[in-house]
Structure formats: C-alpha cells, structure tokens
Structure 1
Amino acid sequence: MRRPLLAAAIALALPLTAVTPAKAAAPVFTVHMAPGAPASNDGLTARTPVGTLTRVQEVLRQHRPSSDVEVRIKQGTYRSAPMHDWRFYIPGHTISFMPADYAQGAGLPPGGRPVFRNISSHPNGFWLQPRLPRDSADPLHNGGDSGLRFYYLQIEEYAAGAISIFGDSERDVSDESLNPPLRMRGSKGLNGNTLFGMVLRNLGNKHAPGAAYGYGAVVLTNSSGNRIENNTFDHVENAAPDGGYIHGTYVTHFSSSNTVTRNKFVWISGDPIKVRNMSNYNAFEHNNFDRTGRFAHYKDEFCDLACARNNKIDRQCSSFHNRFFHNRLGTNYTGAAALPAWTLSPEGLTNAGGAPCAIPSGDVRLRTGSNTG
C-alpha cells in the first residue's frame, strides 16, 4: 500500500518540465486543374491551373510535398489521352483527385462531375494506369500503400477501361524453377486506393472504334486493400466478337482484401465481376446489376496446369475466401435471361489448382448468400 504514495512523492519532488505541443500536421498541398489550361502554368492557384494529369505529376515531382495532396479539378470536359505513367506517391499520405468544389463526405458537389474523355488520336489504353516507380531509391519502388483517391469524376470513351492499378509493372512475375512456370507476385503491390462516386461509362472498344479490346472499367493487378464504392459502371462493352473480355471490376493476380460495395453495374458485355489468381478475402456486397454478363455476375477463373500447357502461359492458382452477398441480380447482357449469381472455372469450391497451389483447410474459393433478383 505504500508504493503508490512513494511514487507520488517522487513525482512531486521532480522538477517540472515544459510539455512540448504536438507538431501540427502539414497543410494539404493543392494542385488545381482546369480544361484547356496552358502547360506553362504552375497549378498552385485556381488562377494558374494545369490542364492534364501529366502536368499534375510534373508539379508534384517539382515540389515533392510531404503532406496529403488534393488535385482540385474544375468542372468541364478534359480531352485527355490515356496516361499509363503515373508513378508519384507519398508514403503515409494520400493523393486525392476531386471536383474543385467537393467537400469530403458531402456527396456530389453542386458543380457536378468533371468529365475526362478520350481523344480519337489515342484510341487504345486506360484513362489512368498507376505503376510502380522506376527509381530504385523511391520508397514505393517495391510497392506499398499508394494512397490514391478518386471522388466524383466521370471517365468515358477509353478502349481498355477507366483505371488500371498495376502493382506488377516492369517486374519479373514468372517463377521459372517450375515447369510450366508459375505466375508469382512481382512486388508488394500498389495498395490502399479509393474510388467513390465515380461514373465510368462508354468504355471498351465498342466506344473507341478500331481500338484493341478492353479489359475492365476498373482493373486491379497486385493491388490490395482498395475501396470501390458508390460508383456507376455504365455501358462497359467490347464490340463483337470480343464482348466477353471486358468486365466492370477485374480483380486479378494477388489482389486481396478489396471491398466492392454499393455500386451499380449496367450494360456490361462481359461478366461484371471477375476474379483471378490468388486474389483472396475480397468482398462484393450490396451491388445492383442489370443487363450484364454472359456466364455469371461473379466469375472466378484461373489457368491451371492443363490450361498453362495448352496455352503456353504461366500457371496460376485459385483464389479463396471471397464473398458475394446481398447483391441485387439482373438479366444477362442481352436481356434474354436471368444471369446466374456465380461460376467457377475450373470448377470446384476447394479446387486450388494442384500443388504448389493450396487453399487453407476448411476454406473455399467463394461464399455467397442473400442475393436477390
């Protein structure tokens, strides 16, 4: 009983020391965009905006902010070629792309969504494809949390799709010690990104005549921990005979722990949700579907040993512990019939694809329930 009293006496006998206040967080670094803005502008004020994502990245590289970044995008239409070289990230911070008048958590801003529309001279590609940094000294050279945020933008007329987060870019992803080689993870990934309130429409080569076929409105390749919520996927279509190759959301190659919730998928010529190759613990819940798909609302596919040998490509493993719950289902793309909730290829809820692939004991590739149609 004497120890607390002794401790209190010692504390009172010690000299008083000043309490150092917590260091204030660095202010947000803002880059401004406006349609048709001159390339010579610095982007640091609303009066000196820049006009392209390429120029935004140049500004960020010049100033190297150590805080969160907001890219404030004035409403209007940006005629924008595909951008496949976004490589700027700030470890521990986010880079948010949003309308100029957007307030966090307030919903669609009064001015509506800025529109990014492809230009006819660049028919192929995604609107934006974030990739790993090339510089080996960059903290994210081997991947990590990229922290990109996209709020209330409209993306249209890109043949490949809208956003492809490519966490294996320029990396060796083939384990050639096996025959056939096994697809492996190329980095820690580009993780922890958000898409919220976006409209992704008129995507795929049906909307970009002469272009190569598209893959998905949102494609995640070795990209985990992402939030894809409250978006509209509208008319995501390839022209015949390639209609089945494009999807609303394509989660592939070691993309895990993603949440795809409260989205609307309409007029998708391929299956609206596709999952491939060791993409685990993903949740697809409370989404609405209509006029989508050929085989199922949710398609899990991987290239097993026979597939790899027949097609001379790297072998893959199944994904596991994914969820497809509380979704409102609709008809297939043609509107001719109801679309099944899910399908697995190759079949088998516990089919991992053979050693060295494995599913944890007691687990399965997919759990479903409470879907209505």
Structure 2
Amino acid sequence: MAEVDRIAVDERRDVAQQPELHDHAPSLSAADADHRSSILSCEFKVPASIYVWRDADADSNGAGTDTRADGPGRTIRIPTHRLGSSVLKRGLIALAGSAALVLGLVAPAQAAVAAKYPGQVKCPVGDYQLCIDGGRGGFTISGKTFSGHANAILLRNVRNVTISGNRFKNLSGATGYAAVHVKNSSGIVIRKNVFSNLSNRGMMHGVYLVKTSNSSITGNKFSSITGDPVRIRDGSKKNVVSGNTFIKSGQYAMFSEWGRLDKKEVCGSGNIFKNNKYGTGYSGKKISLIRWGGRGGGSTGLPLTWGNCKKASIVNKGGNTRI
C-alpha cells in the first residue's frame, strides 16, 4: 500500500481552493495488501464533483472497471484490477442527472464532465459565468454556449488564452460589461465566435479589453449588440480586429477606445482595424468604423468627446466592406 500512499498527493494547483475534494477522499482497502495483483476497491459518498482513484491500465484496454452511483450522497464502488502493473491516478467524477460519470472510464459520448481551466476562480460580483485570474495560460475555451446572465467570461492577469467556437447570446443585466471581458492580459485570441443579442441599461460590448495587448479578434460574428462590439481601454495596445462581421451593432463605432482619462487612465497605441464586414449600428443608423481617445459621458459628469490622445490609438488599415 506504500505506492498508493505516495500518489495520494494531487498535483492540481486549484485543488487547494476546493477543500470539499479533500473532505471526500476515497477510503482504500484491499483483500490482500501483500498480494499486489489483488482487487483494490474504493467506496465513498458522491458529492456534486469529486476526485477519485482510477486504474491507468483501464484507460488503454478497458480492464476491470465498474462504477455505479444513484446520485448525490449515494455510495460508489470502483474495483481496480492488476494493481501491480498499474499506476493509480485521479479521475474526475461529475453527476449528470442521477448518474455518476467517471472521466476516462466511460465512452466519450457519455462523459459530460465540466471543464476545469488553469487559473479558474470563483467569479466576482458582476454575474459572470467563467472567470480566470492568473494561472499558466496556454489553453483554449471552445464549443460552449453562454447565455442568461449579465456577462460571460472574465479573464484577468493571464497570457495566451484562446476563446474559439463559442456562442454568446441573450446576455443582459444591470452589471453587464461584455460577453468577453479581459483585464491586464496579453496574447488573447478571440476567433470564430458568435455574439448576439447583448444589452444592458447602458452599452453592452461583445469584447472589452482593459490594459490588454498583443491580442487578436478575428473571424467572429457580432449582431444586435447595444454598445460598441469591440471596446478597448486604459493603455491597451497592439490589438488587431480583422475578418469579423458586424450587423446592427454599436453605439459609436465598431471598434472604439474609451477611458477615464480624467482619472489617470492612459491612451493605447498600435491597435488595428482591417478587412471586416459591417452594417449599421444598433439603432439601424450608420456609425463610424473606429473611434479612439474617448472620455466623459455616462456617470462621469463630463461631456463625451473623442480624439483625446496625442496620437491615434486605433488605425483603420482598410479592406473593410459594407454589407
């Protein structure tokens, strides 16, 4: 059993943030601890989400796995064969309806296990659905639908994250900022997503970049968005908006910069808008393709003005087509 004890340490960074995982660690027993080929079994109560032991060999040849649970609070038993030739690992159990699904131990079509991303944290006030703060980055969020809340994704202090092939629809609320809200980050790729029906009491955006640089927004479709579909703020630089389609979206421009320049926020630089297709603004009237250096308006008590930077922070590089 010494080998089992050694590998009981979970190397996942975020487990420390979820004490309930430790509270439900499985209790291991063996009919014959000295005989390494005997059957090992784990029995424990199933919460909504828990890490459990799994047999590495079962991943490759499907040997000897039997998992059953009727629902939360019920007992699940996992026999694991050929202990001597395998290395015990941890797998993720999630309840889908009344069934417990074990990642890697059931057919892919049956395993509807929610993804867990590096740096994922509990979301702050603001009605977000998925929040990342820090972490190693280098991953992709794809194939998901976000709806029914004020906001969808919040990324902070992260690098090299891709958001691709998702649907953001029917987002609305008093705290709404954007479907994808990014702060103090770089290397963010937002591509081939669909943004539709986004609104709030003020101006809801599709993508909102704050202090974010060297990122790209390409091949997305934006439709029926009350605020400017792409907005940058406070020193965001070297971001590219290209190959997107904008339909009935925006209050002032398809791609705009605004900030509290009266409160020491700063202008960005080197941002590019090119090769996009566009229609009217949200009101059905023509609006600008780009606006930069915005300040005032809203609750600031100042008149809204544009061009308040020494140099244009967003440049239209052409190739844009009206539809």
Superposition TM-score, scaled by structure 2 size:
0.60
The answer to whether the Cα contact below 8 Å between 1:257 and 1:282 also exists between their aligned partners in 2 is: yes
Distance 1:266 1:285 in 2: 16
Q: 1:255 aligns with which of 198, 207, 212?
A: 212
After superposition, where does 1:102-113 map in structure 2 within 5 Å? Answer: none
Shift of 1:147: 2.2
**Paired residue for 1:231?**
193
Measure, in 2, the Cα distance between the counterparts of 1:343 and 1:327: 15
Counterpart residue identity of residue 169, structure 2:
R
Say whether 1:201 aligns with 2:169.
Answer: yes
Name whichever structure is richer in strand by fraction: 2
Contact in 1 for aligned 2:94/2:113 (Cα 8 Å): no
Listed one character per residue, the Cα deviations across residues 147-196 of structure 1 (whole Å, up to 9, x for unaligned) are 2311111111111x1101022xxxxxxxxxxxxxxxxxxxxxx1110111
Aligned pairs for 1:362-373 within 5 A: 364-368=312-316, 369-373=318-322
Q: CA deviation at 1:40?
A: 5.1
Contact 2:49-2:95 within 8 A present in 1 as well: no
Q: Find the aligned partners of 1:348 and 1:333 in 2 and give their Cα distance.
A: 20
Residue 229 of structure 2: aligned partner: 272
| Alpha-carbon RMSD | 3.4
Q: Which amino acid aligns with 2:153?
A: I
Hey, what does 1:131 align to over in structure 2?
A: 133
Which segments of 5 or more consecutive residues in structure 1 lack a partner in the other structure?
A: 1-28, 30-36, 53-58, 60-71, 89-121, 133-139, 168-189, 206-211, 309-314, 353-358
Q: CA deviation digits over 1:126-155, x for unaligned, max 9?
A: 1011123xxxxxxx5xxxx42231111111
Amino acid of the residue matched to residue 199 of structure 1?
Answer: R
How has the CA–CA distance of structure 1 residues 43 and 325 changed in structure 2, closer, same or farther, with 3 Å as cutoff? farther
Which residue number in structure 2 is paired with residue 243 of structure 1?
202
Structure 2's unaligned 5+ residue stretches are: 1-11, 13-45, 60-66, 68-91, 97-101, 103-107, 296-304
For 1:281, the aligned partner's letter is K
State the one-letter code of the partner of 2:287. Answer: L
Task: Say yes or no: does 1:42 pair with 2:51.
Answer: yes
TM-score by length of 1: 0.52
Partner of 1:15: none
Superposed CA deviations along residues 88-126 of structure 1, whole A, max 9, x for unmatched, are 9xxxxxxxxxxxxxxxxxxxxxxxxxxxxxxxxx99511
Aligned to 2:279: 330
**Contact residue 222 and residue 246 of structure 2 kept, 8 A:** yes
Q: Share of identical aligned residues, percent? A: 26
Q: Among 140, 149, 154, which residue is 1:158 paired with?
A: 149
Q: 1:154 to 1:365 in 2, by over 3 A?
A: same
